[in-house]
């Protein structure tokens, strides 16, 4: 860590230590969701409307020129941002309204930077029933485009997270988050403890099924989950969940450009992803963790264009290729306006060179991905890892500043020390 970075951190600590203590929206973000995540949370009027903006300007500094998860082929949202220095990062405009406390509608438009360009995305646009509107008691329906219930973090917006970035499994397997077009039905079981089951059906135009605005023919996804939890004592509680996201991939295309060379990866086939999460809280301490397991079968097409006019184009057959990932985190509330946290995440790399059992991958009859393209796209049994340290301060009712240090090694020997300063404000 350079002297300049250390001085910057010290100055931030000094300036924010004198901030007044306020009740903040961020107290709700980590547990129950913020205004944008749960638009009607603070609406008493049954026909009220809510409009607002979330700003997330971010400063980033990386020690490595490039960083990539070899063998995982994530979308650009899952890759490390290319831009260093100060950027607007991610801005959200949201509109929401409730009707007679029975229906809720919400729309979120996000503006983000990628590869030096500004992108506008319709992140969410959905309607959902409340209080089991015209449905059996405990049952609700949500339809449209949304961040669906999957794992511990997917349903919440990034400004609600306890860290400045998502853990590696979310980046590798969900391109940071899954927000497809579809429908989800949930049912709160009539038992003495918290228990909810749900299922969804989706169009298939978001990772891991696709990334195009219009879903490719054959793309389709479905989900199922169960969550249970309970209060142990006045100061402690727990929650656990199991989730499935499975479907057909007509075409899932990702890629990037580096050193004047473009690489395009297109997968078609079947994708099955399972997640298990556990959360425990005691007073100001929150411990959480998730385990991801993915199996894919289909065809992987790789095109490498060096700009010479003769791109390399190979198609590989994948048969039950298994990958995995997990993370654990601990976040502690030092006082009502300050938190510290640590998180460790790791991925279990696919072994594309294995020909034992069902883990076979071949080009025609004579080549493996482990040797094709000089093995550039095979992880070589190396498991990517990332270690993060975080401290944040609530500056006011609607603003927070976060400092974070990441130590990542996403490919063998490519270590990347990252320094991140994130400022979040609600307008």
pLDDT per residue over 339-357, tens digit each? 999 999 999 988 775 543 4
pLDDT in tens, 391-416: 999 887 789 999 999 999 998 889 99
pLDDT at 401: 95
Q: What is the mean pLDDT of residues 227-238?
A: 92
pLDDT band with cut points at 50, 70 and 90 for residue 363 = very low
From the list 375, 262, 369, the residue with the least C-alpha distance to 315 is: 369
Q: Would you say residue 207 has pLDDT above 70?
A: yes
Residue 65: count other Cβ atoms within 10 Å of its Cβ.
10
pLDDT in tens, 19-70: 333 233 333 333 333 333 343 344 345 566 788 999 999 999 999 988 888 8
pLDDT band with cut points at 50, 70 and 90 for residue 289 = very high
Q: What is the mean pLDDT of residues 322-327?
A: 95
Task: Look at 8-17, 218-227, 367-376 and tell me which has the smallest mean pLDDT.
Answer: 8-17
Q: What is the mean pLDDT of residues 242-247?
A: 97
**CA gyration radius, the chain:** 22
Residue-number span of the structural domain to which 368 is assigned: 3-426
- In percent, the amount of the chain with pLDDT more than 70 equals 81
Q: CB under 8 Å to 192, separation ≥6 — which residues?
A: none
Ranges 73-82, 316-325, 413-422, most confident: 413-422
pLDDT at 406: 97
Structural domains of the chain, count: 1
pLDDT at 186: 94
Task: Look at 14-28, 201-215, 285-299 and tell me which has the smallest mean pLDDT.
Answer: 14-28
pLDDT band with cut points at 50, 70 and 90 for residue 373 = low
Mean pLDDT, the chain, integer? 82
* CB contact at 8 A, 68 and 82: no
Question: Residue 135 belongs to a domain with what CATH number?
Answer: 2.40.160.10
pLDDT in tens, 103-146: 889 999 998 877 667 888 889 999 999 876 778 888 999 999 99
pLDDT at 374: 64
**Residue bearing the bigger pLDDT, 6 or 275:** 275
* CB contact at 8 A, 249 and 210: yes
Q: Is the dihedral of CA 165, 166, 172, 175 positive or negative?
A: negative
Q: Is the dihedral of CA 9, 10, 12, 18 positive or negative?
A: positive
Q: What is the mean pLDDT of residues 209-229?
A: 84
Q: CB under 8 Å to 155, separation ≥6 — which residues?
A: 33, 37, 146, 147, 148, 149
Task: Look at 11-25, 283-297, 308-322 and tell me which has the smallest mean pLDDT.
Answer: 11-25
Q: Would you say residue 239 has pLDDT above 80?
A: yes
Q: What is the mean pLDDT of residues 162-172?
A: 96
pLDDT at 11: 38
3-state secondary structure 172-240: HHHCCCCCCEEEEEEEECCCCCEEEEEEEEECCCCCCCCCCCCCCCCCEEEEEEEEEEEECCCCEEEEE
**Residue bearing the bigger pLDDT, 265 or 37:** 265
Burial bucket for residue 347 (CB in 10 Å: 0-12, 13-18, 19+): buried
Ranges 118-122, 369-373, 423-427, most confident: 423-427
Give the long-range contacts of residues 318-322, CB within 8 A, separation 24 or more.
318/267, 318/269, 318/361, 319/358, 319/359, 319/360, 319/361, 320/295, 320/296, 320/358, 320/359, 321/295, 321/296, 321/297, 321/350, 321/352, 321/359, 321/361, 322/293, 322/294, 322/295, 322/350, 322/359
C-alpha span between 219 and 207 (Å, rounded): 11
From the list 221, 227, 234, the residue with the least C-alpha distance to 178 is: 221
pLDDT band with cut points at 50, 70 and 90 for residue 290 = very high
- In percent, the amount of the chain with pLDDT more than 90 equals 49
pLDDT in tens, 147-159: 999 999 999 988 8
Q: Would you say residue 364 has pLDDT above 80?
A: no
- Residue appearing with tokens 């509107």: 133
C-alpha span between 406 and 63 (Å, rounded): 11
pLDDT at 42: 41
């Amino acid at each position: 860590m350079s002297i300049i970075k250390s001085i910057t951190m010290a100055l931030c600590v000094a300036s924010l230590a004198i901030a007044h203590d306020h009740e903040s929206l961020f107290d709700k973000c980590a547990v129950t969701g913020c205004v944008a995540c749960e638009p009607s949370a603070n609406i008493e009027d049954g026909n009220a409307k809510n409009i607002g903006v979330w700003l997330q300007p971010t400063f980033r500094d990386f020690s490595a020129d490039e960083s990539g998860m070899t063998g995982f082929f994530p979308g650009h949202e899952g890759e490390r941002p290319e831009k260093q220095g100060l950027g607007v990062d991610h801005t959200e405009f949201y509109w929401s309204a409730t009707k007679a406390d029975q229906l809720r509608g919400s729309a979120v438009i996000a503006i983000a930077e990628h590869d030096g360009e500004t992108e506008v995305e319709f992140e969410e646009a959905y309607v959902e029933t409340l209080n089991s509107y015209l449905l059996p008691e405990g049952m609700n329906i949500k339809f449209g485009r949304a961040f669906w219930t999957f794992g511990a973090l997917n349903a919440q917006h990034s400004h609600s997270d306890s860290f400045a970035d998502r853990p590696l499994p979310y980046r590798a397997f969900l391109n940071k988050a899954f927000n497809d077009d579809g429908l989800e039905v949930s049912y709160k079981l009539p038992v003495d403890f918290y228990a909810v089951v749900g299922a969804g059906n989706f169009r298939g135009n978001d990772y891991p099924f696709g990334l195009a605005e219009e879903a490719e023919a054959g793309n389709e996804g479905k989900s199922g989950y169960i969550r249970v939890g309970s209060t142990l004592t006045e100061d402690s509680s727990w929650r656990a969940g199991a989730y499935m996201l499975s479907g057909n991939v007509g075409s899932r295309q990702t890629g990037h450009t580096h050193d004047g060379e473009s690489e395009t990866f297109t997968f078609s086939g079947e994708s099955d992803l399972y997640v298990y999460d556990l959360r425990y809280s005691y007073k100001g301490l929150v411990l959480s963790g998730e385990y991801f397991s993915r199996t894919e079968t289909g065809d992987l097409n790789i095109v490498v264009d060096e700009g010479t006019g003769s791109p390399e184009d190979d198609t590989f057959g994948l048969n039950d290729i298994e990958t995995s990932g997990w993370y654990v985190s601990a976040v502690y509330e030092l006082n009502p306006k300050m938190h510290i946290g640590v998180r460790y995440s790791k991925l279990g790399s696919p072994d594309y060179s294995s020909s034992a059992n069902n883990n076979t991958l071949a080009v025609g009859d004579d080549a493996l991905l482990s040797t094709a393209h000089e093995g550039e796209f095979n992880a070589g049994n190396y498991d990517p890892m990332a270690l993060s340290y975080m401290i944040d301060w609530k500056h006011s009712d609607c603003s927070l500043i976060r400092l974070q240090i990441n130590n990542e090694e996403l490919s063998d020997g490519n270590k990347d020390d990252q320094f991140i300063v994130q400022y979040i404000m609600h307008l």
